[in-house]
Amino acid sequence: MLKIQDLKVEIDGKEIIKGLSLEINKGEVHAIMGPNGAGKSTLSAVIAGRDEYEVTGGTIEFDGKDIMDLAPEERAHAGVFLSFQYPVEIPGVSVTNFIKTAINESRKAKGLDPIPAKDLLKLMREKQQLLEMDKQFMSRSINEGFSGGEKKRNEIFQMAMLDPKLAILDETDSGLDIDALRIVANGVNKLKNEDNAVMVITHYQRLLDHIIPDFVHVLYDGKIVKSGDKNLALELEAKGYDWIKQELA
Amino acid sequence: MTEEDKLLEEVTSAEYKYGFVTDIDSDTIKNGLNEDVIRLISSKKNEPEWLLEWRLEGFKKFQKMTEPEWANVHYNKPDLQAISYYSAPKPKKKLDSLDEVDPELLKTFEKLGISLEEQKHLTGVAVDIVVDSVSVATSFKEKLGELGIIFCSISEAIQEHPELVRKYIGTVVPQTDNFYAALNSAVFTDGSFCYIPKGTRCPMELSTYFRINQAGTGQFERTLLIADEGSYVSYLEGCTAPSRDENQLHAAVVELIAMDEAEIKYSTVQNWYPGDKEGKGGVFNFVTKRGICHKSAKISWTQVETGSAVTWKYPSCILKGDNSIGEFFSVAVTNNYQQADTGTKMIHIGKNTKSTIISKGIAAGYSNSSYRGLVKIMKGAENARNFSQCDSLLMGDKSGSHTFPYIEVKNKSALIEHEATTSKIGEDQLFYCNQRGIGTDEAIGLIVNGYCKDVLNQLPMEFAVEAQKLLSLSLEGSVG
């Protein structure tokens, strides 16, 4: 589904990703772990198409097609979803209005009519329940005055509504208390099926107790330096990133 | 190249939708401004002597005044001698039904999205339309007449209800108020008139569409709206003009009178031609709007300003009566080389008077948007309250946003709050929307409409939808 080959990325002339390759197939859950500054968030932003990063080498294919020249919204229409580490506030735009616009823009790109209001409301109710969200939440301005937990829950709610092929969760566990973590992870697990894939970016093992990865990759200094199964995450948790650094030295 | 950089280069790609010219035969008098022109206007309109005198008095005062320069706008002052002060579509005979209206003119209304018949039957909005200088059609008059409501062109009111016009004209905006108000007093050619009798709630929205059509004409309309004791009216005005290379002058005066316990809601969607991408042409919109509130009365101004090359406009409230309320809700969008200096004045005279000001400025391209507001609490205004919120949204780094709040308080019991914010549409917000599949133009529309929600919510439903579209359209293509 996602195939990254020898990717190199710079920002302001500084190389952040230095030749990264990664392949994610449908039905799989991949975890990307690594210390601060390793390039984890850069990787997610580049896949989603953020243009402040300059890609200086390599390729990104999605569903067999090169997506490097696609605008972020076109990548979204193709089925890429990014759950933001720091979701932004948009004052005056309700969660309902935002998600309705997002769904209808994707439908428009596919030549479909806007979603009927009845279907939208039904879908929203379903996904609200999945993420244990209050109905009043839907009329609040998106992310404005949301707690850390609410923001992340709202991200996963949008993911549920948009039903992407590839969901990238960028530090979705940061700022979550235990209960919110459980709800968010539970939501992701229920949305998971054999046709989609999830890429979890995290510092810590604790999210991976809930969302069990098929593969764990360690990103360090712009490269994947080690890959393994879920046990690698446990090993990292026990030994710390210094262990990787020493191994590489 | 970042989004912000692209914004500098890519200014709006959206063409001005209303920039067509209607090919109708007009009766236009020679350019120039002098006493004879004023006499000619007055005689063409068959006006009573007192009004001619009033106009001439206004003209004398005008001649002693100079054009104001304190506003934060820069433009070449219009040559007032190069303007024709009267232009009317022919034939000028009085129209009783739409069938008598020039078919070319009716086509214009269709292009403007005003189907009179449809308006009549479906929306229940009564419409008065002013093209160039004269009012050409007022719908729904009979139905309103049954309630004693008068809604017609001011020319007609001068003929039919001279006592009302004479009693109130110039009482809220005196001839000497300012340069353009004085000019308007001398040469105004038409506008709307409305009177709501005591205790009457006007059952429909009253609406006026203003259109400048003829080249080289100025539009000087005068609107007078009187809500008698305990009455209520909601009034809408919309404005468009053809795209022309030269600047056209629009200098209107609007006077509102809210008697005891009356309420007036006055909404404007101003979409005069803003000039082209290089800042050529466009309407100079120099307007004086003011209302007076008697005891427990309320006046609410709502404006969505997207058009005009230069806007200079401060819809204000004189809160004379005890317990009266003034409100001002404004969205001003400037793009390309547009300039807007707009805001309000709230003059608290009566006890327990309250005012609210919500202003949202949006500046894109090379434009400049200024908020200028005065909150004045007079000595006798015990327990006056004011809340002001002035927000500015900048797009790109070539646009400017300015705030000039003035506060004068002469009574210690006053409570005044002022909040102000300045923000930019961030790349983070745009990317967030993009990532959810929302393209940049749609994202800007979404963000801007969200930002203006508090103001748009004040508009009547049909108008709010139109205003939302207009906002998105005005900013379309302003981010690459």
ipTM score for this prediction: 0.96
Partners of residue B427 in chain A, C-beta under 8 Å: 52
Mean pLDDT, residues B289-312? 92
B437 and A51 within 8 Å at the Cβ level: the answer is: no
Check if A48 contacts B (Cβ < 8 Å): yes
Partners of residue B445 in chain A, C-beta under 8 Å: none
Pairing outcome for strands B282-293 and B310-313: parallel
For A36-75, write each residue's pLDDT tens digit.
888 999 999 999 999 889 999 999 999 999 999 999 999 9
Interface mutation vs chain A, best among B435, B440, B455, most A CBs within 10 Å? B435
pLDDT band at B119; cut points 50, 70, 90? very low
pLDDT at B331 over 50: yes
Instruction: Return the pLDDT at B276.
Output: 78
How many angstroms separate the Cα of B197 from the Cα of each of B72, B152, B320?
41, 15, 21
Instruction: Return the pLDDT at A203.
Output: 84
What gap in Å lies between CA B196 and CA B153, rounded to an integer?
Answer: 15
CA distance A189 to chain B (A): 21
pLDDT band at B245; cut points 50, 70, 90? low
Instruction: Return the pLDDT at B106.
Output: 60
- Quote the strand ranges of B10-74, DSSP E: 26-28
What gap in Å lies between CA B170 and CA B244, rounded to an integer?
Answer: 32
Q: How far is CA A215 from the centre of its chain?
A: 16
pLDDT at B423 over 70: yes
Handedness of CA B364, B443, B243, B183 (dihedral sign): negative
Instruction: Return the pLDDT at B95.
Output: 47
Q: Is residue B370 part of a domain?
A: yes
A73 and B451 within 8 Å at the Cβ level: the answer is: no
| Residue B127 DSSP code | E
Check if A162 contacts B (Cβ < 8 Å): yes
Instruction: Return the pLDDT at B6.
Output: 43
Q: Please answer whether residues B109 and B152 qualify as being in contact, where contact means their C-beta atoms are separated by less than 8 angstroms.
A: no
Mean pLDDT, residues B438-453? 90
Q: Which residue of A has its CA nearest to B439?
A: A73
Mean pLDDT, rounded, of chain B: 81
pLDDT at B446 over 70: yes
In which residue are the tokens 């007076």 written?
B292
Partners of residue B432 in chain A, C-beta under 8 Å: 84, 87-88, 90
CA angle (B246 as vertex; B78, B219 as ends), nearest 5:
60
For B21-44, write each residue's pLDDT tens digit.
555 556 677 777 888 888 888 888
For B128-141, write each residue's pLDDT tens digit.
666 555 555 555 67
Provide the token pair at B229.
């004791």
pLDDT band at B284; cut points 50, 70, 90? confident
Of A50, A52, A88, nearest to B429 by CB-CB distance is A88
Partners of residue A105 in chain B, C-beta under 8 Å: 436-439, 442
- The full length of chain A comes to 249
pLDDT at B12 over 60: no
Domain count, chain B: 1
Instruction: Return the pLDDT at A21.
Output: 96
pLDDT higher at B278 or B400 = B400
Domain count, chain A: 1
For B211-222, write each residue's pLDDT tens digit.
655 555 567 889
Q: Is B415 helix (H, G, I), strand (E, B) or coil?
A: strand
Q: Is residue B480 part of a domain?
A: no
Structural domain for B45, as ranges:
3-475
Instruction: Return the pLDDT at B11.
Output: 32
Of B354, B329, B333, B355, whose CA–CA distance to B343 is shortest?
B329
Partners of residue B464 in chain A, C-beta under 8 Å: none
Q: Is residue B189 part of a domain?
A: yes
Instruction: Return the pLDDT at B1.
Output: 41
Residues 54-113 of A with CB under 8 A from B: 71-73, 76-77, 81-82, 84, 87-88, 90-93, 97-99, 101-103, 105-106, 109
pLDDT higher at B147 or B281 = B147
What gap in Å lies between CA B456 and CA B445, rounded to an integer?
Answer: 13
Check if B3 contacts A (Cβ < 8 Å): yes
Please name every residue paired with B409 in a beta bridge, in sequence order, or none if there are none. Answer: B377
Handedness of CA B198, B201, B204, B208 (dihedral sign): positive
pLDDT higher at B135 or B256 = B256
* Residue A13: Cβ within 10 Å count: 6
pLDDT band at B45; cut points 50, 70, 90? confident
Phi-psi region of B17 (alpha: psi -120 to 50; beta: other; left: phi over 0): alpha
Check if B441 contacts A (Cβ < 8 Å): no
Check if B429 contacts A (Cβ < 8 Å): yes
Mean pLDDT, residues B191-195? 90
A88 and B432 within 8 Å at the Cβ level: the answer is: yes
Low-confidence ranges of chain A (pLDDT < 50): none
Instruction: Return the pLDDT at B349.
Output: 97
**Per mean pLDDT, which range of B169-173, B335-339, B427-431 is the poorest?**
B335-339
CA angle (B185 as vertex; B180, B190 as ends), nearest 5:
105
Partners of residue B392 in chain A, C-beta under 8 Å: none
- We report the CATH number of the domain holding residue A108 as 3.40.50.300
Structural domain for A125, as ranges:
2-248
Contacts of A118 (CB under 8 A, 6+ apart): none
